[in-house]
Structure 1
Amino acid sequence: MTARADRPNRTNQLSTHGLDLRYGDRLVIGGLDLVLPGGAVTAIVGPNACGKSTLLRGLTRLLSPAAGTVALDGSDIHRMPARSLARRMGLLPQQPVTPDAITVEALVRLGRYPHQRLLSPWSATDQAAVDEALERTGTTELRDQHVDQLSGGQRQRAWIALALAQDTELLLLDEPTTFLDLRHQLDVLDLVSDLHTESGRTVVMVLHDLGQAARYADHLVVLQEGRLAAAGPPSEVLDAALVKSVFNVDCQVIPDPETGTPLVVPRGRARRHATAVAG
């Protein structure tokens, strides 16, 4: 899917100012000031329970701020009409709930909802978007199968196809490689890279693998206990000191032999033990 000529010239920059996100009385994200560059691929990384998925929910209006704001191109997303926001922003949540007895194609067709108008017929444009999304995610042969009968990896690719069919300028993915084997992880991340390169889509994704984040992202956001530990190009922010401070892992950070991007190499157990004793 390529960028349409009728799309206005927008930067698709997400930003937060003084953002607090809570679940009940528990503060998860506190006082966050952050700018996610438009027209780039951003990866959000950090230890478990540091607030990565919570932040993504806040950026997509699934979770209302307890304080502060979230803005898209300077406009508060909570003041934007829901359908208008859905035409600009697509989301793949971490654990999407599949409707009962729905086929893969029917699921992916749901991605076209923001583009529908009352009583408007299903169009050739809608079908083309669905067909392309199925093809790009390798799910064309699964289109008539029920989603609840698929493997975890197949189900994940079907949900990614729904997000692609929505055809938004801004795509947010919460751990898109979950349930996928290594080959399909790379396929998904290559697809994300292609969407950015071919049509300038802005992508924000939560990842666990630091090497994959550094390889595929233009911009890295590192969270620690709900606060910003670092942000910027991976080559500038990802080093051994940061990994030790945030993840409590002794490592070397070396150039990836394939891409030259930062590659985290944890020290072996004996080296870790020797370092701890020396310290």
Structure 2
Amino acid sequence: MSTADGPALACRLALPAGFRRADVLALHGRDPLQTAECVEGAGLRKGIAWRGRPACLAIHFHTGHAVAELALDGTAEADDPAALAAMARRMLGLDQLVEDFERRHRHHAQLGALIAAQPGLRVPQTATPFEALSWAVTGQQISVRAAVAVRGRLIRAAGVQHSSGLFCYPDAHRLATMDADALRAAGLSRGKAETLLALAHAVEAGALPLDEWLAGPAPADEIRARLLEVRGIGPWTIDYALLRGFGHLDGSLHGDVAVRRGLQRLLGSAEALGANAARQWLEPFSPWRALVAAHLWAVAASAEQVLRPRSA
């Protein structure tokens, strides 16, 4: 897989048997305009802000392993190789102990069937916690398709572009330099624009030390408490950001419409399930509730594929 000219770093990651690379490619292939991500055959390229510098991350999948490459517009630092390997492992969900979850629940009356149908399911993560958090805010109460379109316009408005041509998802520092009008012009509501700016400034001020939290086991309770202080942040946004940004698998995503739709289909219920019913059903699966939610997302997505016209 080609990358732009410039300092290039690379690492090789062993993949478990049956690794679901399609899940990773699907996450990064949502934007039809390929603003910041481009899926190419058995791999992907993604523009990222790497320690404040434009960079292009390339991940190519092979049998039994993946190769991650990082092309920097700038000078590499001594610890960049280790940081690249850690980021790539997180993005692929390789440290998620899904085998333990599957052994424990594979005989469950309803969930067991999902595990059998979707063995090895992991949750692909974003490159940084800030990307997960800001994406969660962008996607509040709108469809995935609409959120992807807004996300693309936001990335272009931030204007961080790698020499390969891919735009880079803005980090907190770049977003903090923008104003609410620029964010609203990208399609964000006033409330979401103000929330994103508040988050970016909090990260810059050290009130939300996302990188420090990422360095060790995510202190979910502390993260939750800090984020709840930000106007416009609620339980769903926090649990989604914990999952996609930190790999925390025990958030209860019972408020997620797709999770409830998947659970309704799994249980064969004729009536839509409310958030409280979903919360109660998910509760016994702690500390894996968010991973169960990911299985239910897959059920909901599969149902939508079945119902979608063949010409779509």
Class of the TM-score when normalised by the shorter of the 2 chains = under 0.3
TM-score where L is the length of structure 1:
0.27
Quick check: which one's helix share is greater?
2
TM-score where L is the length of structure 2:
0.25
The structure, 1 or 2, with the larger RCO (C-alpha pairs under 8 Å, 6+ apart) is 1
Quick check: which one's strand share is greater?
1
